Structure 1
C-alpha cells in the first residue's frame, strides 16, 4: 500500500495539481508508488495527458518500465487516448514502443483499435511509426494488424500513415539516403514520409547543404503537421543554418501564427538572433504580420531588442513599413505591450521623428499619445 504522502500524490495527479504534486515529491512522495488499482502519479500523468505533470514525474525518477493493471506501459495508455504530445515525450524517455499488454495489443494497436481516427490520433500513429512501431505486427489475440484495424474502422488518415512505404533500412550510420528523404519530406510537408524516414534511421537533426534541419525546412514552408511531429520527437527549434535562420526565427518572416504555436512547446530561445541581429518580432513588424505580432508579444520576447542596424521592432514597423492599417495596428500593439516609444535608432532619430518624416500621421498620433517625443 502507498504511504500517506504517496496517496496524496496520486490524488494530486488525478487533479493535475502540479504545484501540489511538486510539494509532495519534495516532501518524499514516490512518483512510482501505486494504489490498489495499480495507478501511480507517473502512469496517471500519461493516461490523462498531463504533460507538465509527466515531465515532473520523469524528472523525479518516473519508471519508464512500469506497467499498469493491464500489463501496459505508460505509452500504451497515452496512445489509447490520443495524447500525442505525451506519446512523443514518452518515446523520448525511452518507453518500449512494441510492448504488448495482456489484451495482446501494442501502443499502435490501441491508438487504432480504441482511437477515433481524429487528428490527434493521426499524430499519435505517426509518432509511433517514427519511433519504430511495426504497423504489420499482428495482435496477439486475433492477428489483426494496425493497418487492417484502421481500414476496418474507416480511419482514412490513419490508414494512409500506416500504409506509407518505408525507404530502405539504413546501411550506414547515418544513411545519406534516409537523411535526404527526411529533409525532402519535411520541405514538402509530407508528415507520413517524415515518420517513415525517421523509422528507417534518418537522424532527427539531419541537415542539408545549407545546414537546414527538417524542422527548419518545415517551418520555412509553413508545414505545421510535419513540424508538430518533429517537435514532439524533440527536434531542436534553435538549430541555425548557414544564414543563421532557425525554425523559430523564420516564423517572424512567414508570419505564421500556427507555426509559432507549434514551436512554442519546444521552448525556443526567444533571444536567438538572425543574421541581422534581430529576433522574430522585428521582421514580423517590418512585414506587417499583425496577427503574429499580436501573439508573439504575449511571450517573453524583448520588444525593445535592437538589431545590428540599430532598430527595434517599433522602428522597423515605421521605417520599413508602409504606414497603412497593418503597420498602424502593429505600432499600437507594440506600444500597448511595453515597447519604448522613445528608443531612438543608431543615429539618435526617434520613432516619432521617423513617423513624421514619412508622413505617417496616424502612427505619429499613436506615438504622441504614448508620450513619444
Structure 2
C-alpha cells in the first residue's frame, strides 16, 4: 500500500504542481495579460458582442494567439462568456485548438466544472476526446480526477474515450479514485464511468486495479460500486 505522502506527491504531479512549477498547468489569463489584451482577446474576455461582431466583420484573425497560445475562444471559455463562444464558433473559429499547455476549450470548461459552457461547446461540434495536457490525458480524465460528475456524464454522452490511459498510466476510473476524496461527487463520477462500460481491469503501473486502489484508500462506497454485479 502506498503512503499518503506519496499519494499527495502524485496529486501534485497530476495537477501540474511540481516543486518547481508553483502554478497549475492550466492557467487562465492573469491580470497583466488582461491589461495587455486588445482586439478579439479583449472583446472575448469581456463578452463585448458588438465589438466582437465588428472585429469579425473586419476580418480579424479568429484564431490569433496570446502570449500563452490562447485563442479568443480559449479566453471566452475561461471567462464563461458563452455568447462570445457562440459568436466566435459561428464565425468559424477553430473549436479544437490547443494552447501552449496543450489544453483545448473542452478541457478548460471541464476542469472549471463549467457544465453550461461545455454543453455549448459540444453542441457546436467541439471534440470530446482530444488528447490534452502535458500528461497526455483527456477532458474526461481531468473531470474524473476532480469529481466533476455532471461534466463527466456530458463527456461520456459525447463519446469521450472511456479507457484512455495518460502518461502516468491512469485512466479516468483510476483518477477518480487515487486523486479523489472518496466523497459523493467522486462516487457519482465512478458510477457514471462504470455504467458507461469503462474497463475496470486496467491497472496502474504497479499493477493495482481500481478495486485494489479503492480498498487501499479505504473508500468503502467506491469498493461497493466496483464489487457490484454491474461492475464485473
**Contact 2:95/2:126 (8 A) holds in 1:** yes
Q: 2:125 aligns with which of 246, 267, 273?
A: 267
Does residue 290 (structure 1) correspond to residue 149 (structure 2)? The answer is: yes
Higher normalized contact order (CA 8 Å, seq sep 6+, divided by chain length): 2
Does residue 338 (structure 1) correspond to residue 165 (structure 2)? The answer is: no
**Contact 1:234/1:266 (8 A) holds in 2:** no
Report deviation, 1:200.
3.6
The answer for the alignment partner of 2:83 in structure 1 is 225
Q: 1:348 aligns with which of 180, 190, 207?
A: 207
CA distance in 2, matches of 1:355, 1:197: 52
Structure 2, unaligned stretches of length 5 or more? 1-36
Alignment of 1:30-45 (within 5 A): none
CA separation of 1:250 and 1:370: change in aligned 2, threshold 3 A: farther
Does residue 182 (structure 1) correspond to residue 47 (structure 2)? The answer is: no
Alignment of 1:1-373 (within 5 A): 180-274=38-132, 275-370=134-229
Report deviation, 1:349.
0.8
Report deviation, 1:362.
0.3
CA separation of 1:236 and 1:222: change in aligned 2, threshold 3 A: same
TM-score (norm 2): 0.79
CA distance in 2, matches of 1:346, 1:251: 29
Total equivalences in the alignment: 195
CA distance in 1, matches of 2:192, 2:53: 39
**Contact 2:107/2:142 (8 A) holds in 1:** no
The structure 1 segments of at least 4 consecutive aligned residues displaced by more than 6 Å after TM superposition are none
CA distance in 2, matches of 1:190, 1:254: 22
Report deviation, 1:371.
6.4
Report deviation, 1:237.
1.2
Report deviation, 1:271.
3.4
CA distance in 1, matches of 2:119, 2:231: 33
**Contact 1:180/1:208 (8 A) holds in 2:** no
- Alpha-carbon displacement from aligned partner over 1:222-277 (angstroms, at most 9, x marks no partner): 21111011111121111111111111221221122211222124432333211211
Report deviation, 1:193.
2.4
Report deviation, 1:191.
2.6
Report deviation, 1:299.
1.3
CA distance in 1, matches of 2:152, 2:94: 23
**Backbone CA RMSD of aligned residues:** 1.8
Report deviation, 1:370.
4.4
CA distance in 1, matches of 2:218, 2:48: 46
CA distance in 1, matches of 2:49, 2:109: 19
Report deviation, 1:372.
5.8
TM-score (norm 1): 0.50
